[in-house]
Structure 1
Amino acid sequence: MVAFFSAIEPLRIANRISGQTLFQWDVISRDGGPVEASNGMTLAADVSLANVPMAPSLAVCASFAPEAAVDETLLDWLRERAAQGVTLGGMDTGCFVLAAAGLLADQTVTLHWESLPEFRERFPEIEAVESVFEVTPSGFSCAGGSAAIDMSLDLIRRRHGDDLADRVREQLVHHQRRQPASRQRGLPGQGLDPLIHRAIVLMEDHLEAPLSIRALADELGLGWRRLERLFERDLACSPQRFYVERRLAHAHRLLRETRHPITQIALASGFASASSFTRAFRRHHGVTPSQLRRGLESS
């Protein structure tokens, strides 16, 4: 819901400030009926898939478990829109749907940072980056949340100039003008030694196939003992321990938000077997992966 309204509200405000209908939109659902968002609120739709008017662009907005409602009917419908020349985009985790339809070839896309590792595992042929938003001649995508504001402000700026975009931004009390390549989040270690920050970025980019600490140090151009000292000095832990904790945090999210088998989650988090994953997960989180999942299903 945050991403959805963050995309639309800048456009509505641009219309109001300009005194013109610069932007128009329709809310589409499968059958034209209301849709329940992840926060439990319902959103009224304007039109069903079968009755969508021709439009130059289409945004797929998704949140947790983005492929839960995907079937061949929806994928074929998206392929038909692409064949008609409609520019397609994804918000938050919407790119999972577009990728499943085979519509992201040769594009650079972004998704919410929590979903990037899983997307890269599922669709290794697609370049997925942790930026706020991406706009190309072929499509667009944003990380969800307030990133949709930045993407819509960029659209206003490109079509109607800096002055209108800045006035809309002021109305939204959105003080920071983020560029597309801005990183979505401040990682742990940001504001500390730049080498630690770079090390953490590398760790986050290699959750499924973890680098050895020596390889990590080599990537940074320093000795592994110096890397150990930097982590102990600034984070009071070894780089090995920090790396494992990041992988276990990723596994915890996958257990909560997907239905992937535990063995697959273990591999996606850089563990060689389900047994080693279970032992590490229990030590860190106090429950086994199976116990966590059963608790979520019963709540």
Structure 2
Amino acid sequence: MCKRYSTNVKNGAVFCACADLNSLGYRYPVQVLQYARPQDALITEAIAYMEKHFQEPITVQELAGIVGLSPYYFSRLFRKYTNFSPHAYLIDLRITFARDLLASSQHPIEQVAERCGFNSIQHFIRCFRQHIGCSPPPGISEADSRTGGI
């Protein structure tokens, strides 16, 4: 495991959290099934990359290239170890960050979507609703943030 990431073993599973995000007050537990194979390090490396770069556009091809696997094999291996597809895991990271950001500030929803790596506000709202079960809180509107609430 990478030294930058804390790990805990509970009930035969490995939980790791990105130290960079922990310093910001965010904790993203990642359940990776424990296997005694070299693929553990590859999946952990991909997860670490996703946790560090989740605000940027990330493709399965990019992740597979980072760990040196074909996109198809990487996707199968990632799902086997985490029970999530790489895309679903990335969306979950983004929504978790968005939920924490919305709870701790009054940023406009457009800014939150952008900071979390979503290309459109509609996609952000749809994903938020699917993961959380309700629409994101409105916060303040983009126009109010420019005029100071007037």
- Per-residue CA shift, 1:220-277, capped at 9, x if unaligned? 1111111111122122221111111111111111011122111011011110111110
Query: Residues 222 and 273 (structure 1 numbering): CA distance in 2 closer, same or farther, change over 3 Å?
Result: same
Alignment of 1:210 onto 2:57: yes
1:131-146 alignment to 2 at 5 Å? none
Letter in 2 for 1:247: R
Q: Distance in 2 between matches of 1:214 and 1:227?
A: 9
Give the corresponding residue for 1:227: 74
Query: Residues 197 and 230 (structure 1 numbering): CA distance in 2 closer, same or farther, change over 3 Å?
Result: same
What is the aligned length? Answer: 117
Equivalent residue for 1:188, pick from 30, 33, 39:
30
1:50-199 alignment to 2 at 5 Å? 113=22, 115=24, 187-189=29-31, 192=34, 193-199=40-46
Query: Which stretches of structure 1, 4 residues or more, deviate above 3 A after TM superposition?
Result: 189-192
Give the corresponding residue for 1:238: 85
Letter in 2 for 1:188: V
Query: Residues 239 and 267 (structure 1 numbering): CA distance in 2 closer, same or farther, change over 3 Å?
Result: same
Alignment of 1:281 onto 2:128: yes
Deviation at 1:284, TM superposition (A): 0.9
What's the C-alpha RMSD, in Å, of the aligned pairs?
2.7
Q: Distance in 2 between matches of 1:186 and 1:252?
A: 12
Q: Distance in 2 between matches of 1:283 and 1:212?
A: 21
Alignment of 1:265 onto 2:98: no
Deviation at 1:113, TM superposition (A): 2.0
Letter in 2 for 1:234: Y
- Per-residue CA shift, 1:62-112, capped at 9, x if unaligned? xxxxxxxxxxxxxxxxxxxxxxxxxxxxxxxxxxxxxxxxxxxxxxxx876
Give the corresponding residue for 2:10: none
Q: Distance in 2 between matches of 1:210 and 1:114?
A: 23
Q: Distance in 2 between matches of 1:226 and 1:273?
A: 30
Q: Distance in 2 between matches of 1:111 and 1:201?
A: 10
Letter in 2 for 1:115: L
Letter in 1 for 2:53: H
The TM-score, its normalising length taken from structure 1, stands at: 0.35
Q: Distance in 2 between matches of 1:186 and 1:247?
A: 10
Gaps in structure 2 of 5+ consecutive residues? 1-18, 35-39, 141-150
Deviation at 1:187, TM superposition (A): 4.5
Deviation at 1:213, TM superposition (A): 0.8
Letter in 2 for 1:268: R
Query: Residues 189 and 223 (structure 1 numbering): CA distance in 2 closer, same or farther, change over 3 Å?
Result: farther
The TM-score, its normalising length taken from structure 2, stands at: 0.67
**Highest RCO, 1 vs 2 (Cα 8 Å, sep ≥ 6):** 2
